[in-house]
Amino acid sequence: MIALLLLYLRLAPIFADHMVLQRDQPLHFWGKGLPGATVWVSFAGERRRTTVKKDSTWSLFCHKQKANANPQQLMVSSGRDSIFLNDILIGDLWLCLGQSNMEFPMSREMHFKSEVRQSNQPLLRLYNPTYIGKDVYGKPYTDSMLLALQPASFYSGTWQHCDSNTVGTMSAVGYYFGKTIARREQVPVGLINLAIGGCPAETFISRQALSKGRFAAKTAGNWLTNDALPVWVRKRGQENIAGNTHAIGDGQGPNHGYKPGFAYRAGIEPITPLPIRGVIWYQGESNAQELPRITEYNALMKVLVAGYRKAWHQPALPFYWVQLSSIDTAHYASQYWPQFRDDQRQLLNQLPHGGMAVSSDLGFKNDVHPTDKKDVGERLARWALVRDYGLDTLPSGPLPISVSYRNDTVTVTFKYAPMGLQTADGQSLRGFSLDGLTDAAATIGDDTIMIPAKEKPAAVYYGWKPYTDANLCNGEKLPASTFKLILP
């Protein structure tokens, strides 16, 4: 009996030393055990029990707790078998998702050499697993990788303190986001980073959600040859796994981090019983190279967010995303990026409890991976600090709210400019156009931009180039978003 208990008593893999549990929500613990056995959980002065079900699973809730930076111990026992976890904090859990610009590690970030000296952040904890296929592009996976391409073994990692030994591989965007909140609020922050370099949005959406309605075609047949998915994504997948007899899969094709629904099943679904504070998202490059994928992206994101809010039973779960940066078309298929960035801006009006960090001013002309992630993470944190923590500050740079034409002048009015509008570099205003191609002279009012036009144009554009040097910002030097506004 003891041997069986030693074999069966388990906590879900997300539970480990040094983790953060979500404050102000009932604490949920779950795992596996011997059917019919009693499991006891002791934490924060509370002791509760439950019985293992016939399917070997057990689950119970403890009372919610306030934020607590004092390390606590969790004990789980059944019969003579016990599990002890130490150094557990109570604070806020944020999920970091996306592709390579979210995955982008601190070791490559432009401020790393100075930041690493202050990376010992006692309030910050990192869950930063690696995954099968990480950094393997343009060549076949090995047989051992293919055998490990299963939901239960795709991600592997554990909780860590944030210090100079661990921060180098952490998402730089996630780190700066979490550090900003932890320091401002003085509460523990846990960051769960499940980003996958190069992945499409579809992998982070459950297959069940995709299979309904508009996006059903994305789950039909082998994903490697499915025209409803991005071409670039399928090409990379084919390079890794196509034709390999050792690949594990199903009717939707072989498993891979890019396969629709796979990252959701491997990484998201196992932690949905764990309460979280919110999600930050930096993804889109893989969905922004073909017009059909661009025009569906906002609807796809609404499916993703709705699914997460349902899974976590949090209808107002915060979801904050990064607008794509700038890059030239010389070495990258970015011709549709202005439209994509504008669609991301419009998502602000379509997705309640959401926010967007602008990054077009940080882009590299010939590199899809800008190295300044500090500004990106801190801009995301602004949304959280304003919306979720009650900080009285601006969450964003200028966002257009109306456009009009009168007396031979196009006037655009902005919000998030209480101290007025200005240029980021002190030079003349750049970035406006009345046809999306030709630069137009513009002048700055208090919260308006005025563009002379002898005839009423169809629309006004801002930052409407894949690589833009547009320089409008507000009094806090936060950049304005790319946009296209149709004149009434």
Task: Please provide the average confidence, as pLDDT, over all residues in the chain.
Answer: 96
Distances in Å between the Cα of 442 and the Cα atoms of 274, 423, 445, 446 are: 50, 12, 10, 13
**pLDDT at 178 exceeding the cut of 60:** yes
pLDDT in tens, 433-476: 999 999 999 999 999 999 999 999 999 999 999 999 999 999 99
pLDDT in tens, 197-228: 999 999 999 999 999 889 999 999 999 999 99
Q: What would the mean pLDDT of 136-144 be, rounded to a whole number?
A: 93
Report residue 236's pLDDT band, with 50, 70 and 90 as the boundaries. very high
**pLDDT at 242 exceeding the cut of 90:** no
pLDDT at 1: 37
Phi, psi of 473 (to 5 degrees): -150, 175
Please state, for a pLDDT cut of 90, what percent of the chain lies above it.
96
Helix H or strand E segment including 200 = none
DSSP 166-202: TGGGSBHHHHHHHHHHHHHH-S-EEEEE---TT--GG
The two three-digit tokens of residue 470, written as one number: 């547009």
pLDDT at 4: 42
Please state, for a pLDDT cut of 70, what percent of the chain lies above it.
99
pLDDT at 7: 53
Start-to-end CA span in the chain (Å): 76
pLDDT in tens, 77-92: 999 899 999 999 999 9
Q: What would the mean pLDDT of 238-267 be, rounded to a whole number?
A: 93
Whole-angstrom Cα distance, residue 141 to residue 239? Answer: 8
pLDDT at 5: 41
What pTM was computed for the model? Answer: 0.97
Q: What is the DSSP letter of 257?
A: T
What radius of gyration do the chain's Cα atoms show?
24
The residue type of 75 is M
**pLDDT at 3 exceeding the cut of 70:** no
The two three-digit tokens of residue 366, written as one number: 């010939």
pLDDT in tens, 343-356: 999 999 999 999 99
Burial class, 1, CB count within 10 angstroms (exposed 0-12 / middle 13-18 / buried 19+): exposed
pLDDT at 246: 79
Distance of CA 187 to the CA centre of its chain: 21
